[in-house]
Structure 1
Amino acid sequence: MAAHSVLDADPEVDALLCASDQIARGALDALRDRGVRVPEDVAVIGFDNWEVMTSGARPALTSVDMNFEMLGRRAAEHLVEAINGRPASGVETMPVRVVARGSTISGY
């Protein structure tokens, strides 16, 4: 749902958690077009911590860093283990972190 649709449905919304940094950048643009102040009126968070999207945003975009490098490395290790006859099963969790920037912290 677009930022303007969310605000039309509920003007009391004070934060948007977007599925990607690209979507969050679009939300920032839509909020700015409506005269909504970020983060004072609405905070915005994305996912991926994609530097092109986060650093070029105004304000700079807070994002969840999914640690894709570690995830890819671990997936490759599992693949090599499976090829070598040691397949693994189950669920493995990986650490993530929130990288706070100006879209959630006033004066950042």
Structure 2
Amino acid sequence: MSDKKRVHFRAAFYNTEQGSGVGIERYEPGKPVKITYIASVYFDEGLSSREAVKFIMSHVEKLIGEDEEAMIRLQRRYNLPNWNKVLIRKVENPVRLTEAYNLANDALQRKSTITEEI
């Protein structure tokens, strides 16, 4: 990673036989943490973990500017190479992913996708 402005994300996903839900939130670290974007994304087919993480990386990459790079926190480290401006890190405290998991679960319950700048 370089000296570009770092943008922070947390993400989670649920895979079921009925489909997959992905939750992504962009946040500004601090006390309190400020959420600036949410995505609750539904797929009517089940995604593999690898497919879900690739989707997350691709989605996040579209949200950052040329002068920015992304740090995504996930439940665990996945054996995928880091993309040009996107880095994945394992979250130390899984409780911090609660809202991302809620967004993923909401997508499954709703069977639709919602994204919002906050």
- Using structure 2 for the length normalisation, give the TM-score: 0.28
- Using structure 1 for the length normalisation, give the TM-score: 0.29
Greater fraction of residues in strand: 2
The answer to which structure, 1 or 2, has the higher relative contact order (CA under 8 A, 6+ apart) is 2
Greater fraction of residues in helix: 1
Structure possessing the higher radius of gyration over alpha carbons: 1
